[in-house]
Amino acid sequence: MIDKSKRNLFRRASSPFKSYVYPPYFEKKEDFLKCIECENKDCLISCNEKIIQIENEIPIIKFGINGCTFCDECAKACSKDVLKLENKKAKLNCEMIINPKKCIAWNQTICFSCQDICEEFAIIYNGMFNPVIDEEKCTSCGFCISVCPTNAIEWKAI
């Protein structure tokens, strides 16, 4: 039984669920309520990329240093079936865009940092400049965010 005060705290703090990005193995966001009762937080320890953080008792993805490799380790580590291999998604629950105002390649300086790291070939240039992200190919892994020198790649949880 989940402690009532903890549940209320969780609801206040994590509402709406929409504003967070989660490891790509959940079925529905409400399942993260079970994390309140999880003491070990094994998903956190299992992530070699160190992109999982615990916020208000639940695991969320924080971009900036690394990205998600969809390696399955967090799902394998979860003992409460919040994260399960059978729910594996091909994309994190967010969308990425390149902000032309911050991007130096949109401002006539040569830079291919994001394209170089993208294994999905999801970043398309118009010649040398004006990169955009192809949403069809992008997995929202976040690796491009970690290499952009001007923090021009922004994301929105969906």
Q: Is residue 148 at the binding interface for ligand SF4, with CB under 6 A as the rule?
A: no
Structure letter (DSSP) for residue 14: T
Distances (CA, A) of 36 to 4, 41, 44, 99, 126: 11, 10, 14, 36, 47
Q: Is residue 139 at the binding interface for ligand SF4, with CB under 6 A as the rule?
A: yes
Structure letter (DSSP) for residue 114: H
Q: Is residue 49 at the binding interface for ligand SF4, with CB under 6 A as the rule?
A: yes
Site residues (CB under 6 A) for ligand SF4, limited to 76-135: 77-78, 80, 82-83, 96, 117-118, 120, 122-123, 133
Report the SS3 class of residue 18: helix
Nearer to ligand SF4, 17 or 70 (CB): 70
Q: Is residue 47 at the binding interface for ligand SF4, with CB under 6 A as the rule?
A: yes
d(CA 52, CA 47): 7
68 touches 42 (CB < 8 A): no
Footprint on this chain of ligand SF4 (rule: CB under 6 A): 23, 34-35, 38, 41-43, 46-47, 49, 51-52, 59, 67-74, 77-78, 80, 82-83, 96, 117-118, 120, 122-123, 133, 138-144
